[in-house]
Amino acid sequence: MAGNVGLLKHASIVPQSALAIEDIFRRAGFPDGAFQTLLVGSQKVDKILGDAAGHGGHADGKRRGGNRVGIGAAKRIKKVVLELGGSDPFIVMPSANLEVAAATAVKARIFNNGQSCIAAKRFIVAESIAENSKNCSRGRWRR
């Protein structure tokens, strides 16, 4: 739309997801090459960022990949966006079964020792539940 090309170097463990995203762009009618999946290892990131045609970088997920993108962009004074942990919300609605919600919340936060980029990080509890839970062991709720 603005003449820019998107390059995606997806996590090496999910190449089919990356190819599916590229296919969505193609089927949506974008010109060939407007969005391209790069099936390369992390060691190639610095060389890709070094290309003069590239104006920036973005990394999602783990610190190792973000470190490579951040350093590579900084060396070249290129814009960069890093999302290395996110702020994935866990929302508890008034209709929730609180025992199930509590058990699920613990699993959502500590899955893979909390090292999952999709682990719940912000817990949002409906006000009516928070009001009824003021006598909880910690007694602290942020609004």
Distances (CA, A) of 37 to 10, 19, 28, 52: 7, 6, 16, 19
* Active-site hit among 22, 117, 131, 136: 117
Is 136 a residue of the active site? no
Q: Is 83 a catalytic residue?
A: yes
Tell me the two tokens of residue 8: 């995606």
Contacts of 86 (CB under 8 A, 6+ apart): 117, 118, 121
3-state SS, residue 60: strand
Contact assessment for residue 78 and residue 54, using Cβ atoms and an 8 Å cutoff: yes
Catalytic residue among 83, 127, 131, 136: 83
Q: Distance between terminal CA atoms of the chain?
A: 40
Catalytic residue annotation: 83, 117
